[in-house]
Structure 1
Amino acid sequence: MTTITAEVNKKQKKVPVRGMMDNVMEQFNSAADQINLHPNIRKILSITNNEIIVHFPVKMDNGEVEIFTGYRVQHNNALGPYKGGLRYHPTVDIDAARALAMWMTWKTSLAGLPYGGGKGGIQLDPSKYSQGELERITRRFTFALADNIGPEHDIPAPDVNTNSQTMAWIADTYMSTRPPAERTANQHVVTGKPDGSGGLEGRDRATGYGVFLNIKFWAEKNNESLFDKKYIVQGFGNVGYWASYFMEKEGAKLVAVQDAFGSIENQNGINVEDLFNYSLSNNGSIVDFPEASALKSENFFATDCQICIPAALGNQITAKNADSIKAQLIAEGANGPTNVEGEKILLDRGVSIIPDILCNSGGVVGSYFEWLQNRNGELWLLDEVMAKLDKKMRESFNKVYEYSEREGMDLRTAAYCIAIKRIEKAYIQRGIFP
């Protein structure tokens, strides 16, 4: 672990720089100690099953060829096929893919789904490529992954900078590589597809809705109302927008937003739909939104509020800024937004944290519904999907909250203990192939 010099405060001048893999392993080992996880199973879960790295050429619009690097890490499939998103971002590398794949294993297990965990993507900035180039990159990446994905083996989904269109390209490319008689039977190789291409109604909002539901459930447990509660959101993409949309419907007040371009604040409240429409017309940026003032990005987490929803990237809340957070609740819409040091500070201050593997699991639950819909040849209506999602998320939240109260531990450790115990049980019952 490396160390950089940073001015945090007068007493602390050095902040350890941790990768996501460091965080996920410390979280895993802490929970494993709590449940006395069998040493052999700890060894298995500490490593990934498969790590696929592919380099592939793609012809650009100008006729030049560019080489891309893609990743797919398959952590564990003791409970079912690998499941997890594909992201297009400059930070994608093997270490990040490993950590995210492990988180997916815990997330699917906690939700009680018949899935394992996988993750991956391509190291690129999609804003630098045309729509045609992104399509060719996606199709070539799918072809390069070859037999490493499949509807009963490894099922990708959207993640950072990927969407339903990306999934449609992957599904079409994958099905084109199958024998004619098998093509339509492989539609569920990915989830998060467009409605007209085998997608699930409501899948676009499932993750954000799940974040909102977890906040609502937490408030109910603490005999609080969300009405007039101030909240801030980091990341105003799919997750941040839909979480904000449902929070506003409940009467909560959005007072600050941060995206990759900057931060804005209005303590009187920011209209979610107005901001969303503005960002669409402003190349996806919230900067210069006329109904809010500019906010220094380094001061974003210090904004006066009751609820903070980090819904961008990992390692955003750290020892450097945890002390300045005024929120009483952190609802992790992103994967790994709070690192271990930052979490310790927050917990010591009495701040509650709804962990990522619980808080943002609405997406993978929605993906499971889509997978079932495709396998069974069914079509579910939006109201039916949302009701199923509400029920599933409530079951998961109650399970974690009650375990936390009973065992006297924080919500993250409780969620990990439940998730790991389910996988341990599967290994104990099935045994290890010699």
Structure 2
Amino acid sequence: MTSLEKDTTVVVNRPAKSNATGMVENVLEQFNTAADIINLNPNIRRILSVTNNEIIIHFPAKMDNGDVQIFTGYRVQHNNALGPYKGGLRYHDTVDIDAAKALAMWMTWKTSLAGLPYGGAKGGIQINPKNYSQAELERITRRFTYALGENIGPEHDIPAPDVNTGAQTMAWIADTYMSTKSPSERSTHQHVVTGKPVGSGGLEGRDRATGYGVYLCIKLWAEKNNFPLKGKKYIVQGFGNVGYWAAYFMEQDGALMVGVQDAFASIYKEEGIGVKDLFNHINANEGSVQNFPGASEINKNEFFALDCDLIIPAALGNQITEENAGDVKAKLIAEGANGPTNVEGEKILLKKGVTIIPDILCNSGGVITSYFEWLQNRNGELWQLDEVMEKLEKKLGANFNDVDDAAKERNVDMRTAAYILAIERIEKAYVQRGIFP
């Protein structure tokens, strides 16, 4: 490797900045609220308030025209007290070290709440994938994987798809990582990532798992609160994998999708928007909901104020804030995205009597089925779709009931209850094992 081709990798181990804002501030406030309630051991609080490792990589990749561009990639490993780090890789302009830190912390709470033998990590590349060809994205992904080196691994840190990444991305990562191993080792490293194509070791049903989990949480809440879904109006922010599948299953129960927002437009149709019709329209119109027949385009700032019964934010973080929470008319918010509601916005919503099914519970279907895929690869098994969905429904249903029971028992909101359960499990592991040395 020449000096021109050499990757620059920086691994640091430091606490979050005191002036960190945005999602890091949100997740720490959520964590500290729950920690105060349970009187969390102060030593364990210190450990969980910071990340274990923050990896920043600047790496080159060759473009189709022969030019070389330098990209910045991130991988933050928050905590691994319960098992290997686990979390997605996203390709988006908003990816930076603070976003990765916040998302990694949320993954720690999510995997703990789900009862999985994982810790939390997150990362990605600061990039808009729409600006690059498929061949360029493959080269960027493979070079990023090579640069990460032993910072990922099937028993150490297991990436998965996230915003703007998918099964193909995971296949490139798995192939690149396995190619660095000896021929005798390659077959034992397939589970370095989850969310792979089914033909490359992926799990049937993984594509719909997160969205189905969002729907399932809504359904369970509705059953407990005499809120039949048939005829209920809902809106979805983000109509990617999570938003589409959540809407698909909601439609099966007779709910009516009246509004959808993506990065290009916000649309509304009082009579309801057909889920498959919108899906087909998006595929035929460069990935946008814009100009959907029969729907009106509205100002993006008015989207969360639409007259509806529930909201599924399934895009990015910090979307429902103190600036628009007061306009929300829905009775329920089911967080398909990570951190879509900030702390100040949540205070307003709770005061209005709005229920929020928190992200670490609501969108955990993805990481639960990631665990299933990891087991499938590790054990050389092949799971069928019906088996996967049955196991997911059983696992997520039990988790939902635990959170609902804890919220009622402690007289707290669902997010605080979920954090309490997640933190207590990690605290127990530290208490039992002690702190080295």
Residue type at the aligned position of 2:126: Q
Moved over 6 A (4+): none
1:76-87 → structure 2 map (5 Å cutoff):
76-87=79-90
Q: Which residue of 2 aligns with 1:405?
A: 408
Q: Does 1:89 align with 2:92?
A: yes
| Superimposed CA distance per residue, residues 170-216 of structure 1 (whole angstroms, 9 cap, x where no aligned partner) | 00000000111110110000000001000000000000000000000
Q: Which residue of 2 aligns with 1:182?
A: 185
Q: Post-superposition shift, 1:223?
A: 1.8
| Superimposed CA distance per residue, residues 262-311 of structure 1 (whole angstroms, 9 cap, x where no aligned partner) | 10000110000000011011111000001311111111000110010000
3-state SS, counterpart of residue 224 of structure 1: coil
3-state SS, counterpart of residue 185 of structure 1: coil
Q: Does 1:427 align with 2:426?
A: no
* Selected match of 1:385 from 359, 384, 388: 388
Q: Does 1:171 align with 2:165?
A: no
Q: Does 1:284 align with 2:287?
A: yes
Q: What is the distance in 1 between the residues matched to 2:175 and 2:87? A: 19
TM-score (norm 1): 0.96
1:225-236 → structure 2 map (5 Å cutoff):
225-236=228-239
Q: What is the distance in 2 between the residues matched to 1:124 and 1:80? A: 30
Q: Which residue of 2 aligns with 1:145?
A: 148
| Superimposed CA distance per residue, residues 237-276 of structure 1 (whole angstroms, 9 cap, x where no aligned partner) | 0000000000000110000000000100001100000000
Q: What is the distance in 2 between the residues matched to 1:195 and 1:284? A: 24
Q: Which residue of 2 aligns with 1:335?
A: 338
**Matched pairs, number:** 419
3-state SS, counterpart of residue 88 of structure 1: strand
Q: Does 1:265 align with 2:268?
A: yes
1:114-129 → structure 2 map (5 Å cutoff):
114-129=117-132
Q: Which runs of no fewer than 5 residues in structure 1 stay unpaired?
A: 1-16
Q: What is the distance in 2 between the residues matched to 1:143 and 1:231? A: 43
Q: What is the distance in 2 between the residues matched to 1:162 and 1:217? A: 29
Residue type at the aligned position of 1:129: Y
Q: Which residue of 2 aligns with 1:358?
A: 361
| Superimposed CA distance per residue, residues 349-373 of structure 1 (whole angstroms, 9 cap, x where no aligned partner) | 0000000000000000010000011
Aligned-residue CA RMSD in angstroms? 0.9
Q: Which residue of 2 aligns with 1:223?
A: 226
3-state SS, counterpart of residue 154 of structure 2: coil
1:171-210 → structure 2 map (5 Å cutoff):
171-210=174-213
Q: Does 1:53 align with 2:60?
A: no
Q: Post-superposition shift, 1:98?
A: 0.3
Q: What is the distance in 2 between the residues matched to 1:150 and 1:159? A: 18
Q: Which residue of 1 aligns with 2:326?
A: 323
3-state SS, counterpart of residue 380 of structure 1: coil
Residue type at the aligned position of 2:128: D
Identical counterparts, % of pairs: 75
Residue type at the aligned position of 1:242: W
Residue type at the aligned position of 2:387: E
* Selected match of 2:419 from 416, 419, 428: 416
Q: What is the distance in 2 between the residues matched to 1:393 and 1:373? A: 19
Q: Does 1:32 align with 2:25?
A: no
Residue type at the aligned position of 2:335: E
Q: Which residue of 2 aligns with 1:11?
A: none
Q: Post-superposition shift, 1:18?
A: 4.3
Q: What is the distance in 1 between the residues matched to 2:306 and 2:201? A: 42
Q: Which residue of 1 aligns with 2:15?
A: none
Q: What is the distance in 2 between the residues matched to 1:324 and 1:307? A: 13
3-state SS, counterpart of residue 309 of structure 1: strand
Q: Which runs of no fewer than 5 residues in structure 2 stay unpaired?
A: 1-19
| Superimposed CA distance per residue, residues 104-145 of structure 1 (whole angstroms, 9 cap, x where no aligned partner) | 000000000000000000000000000000000000000000
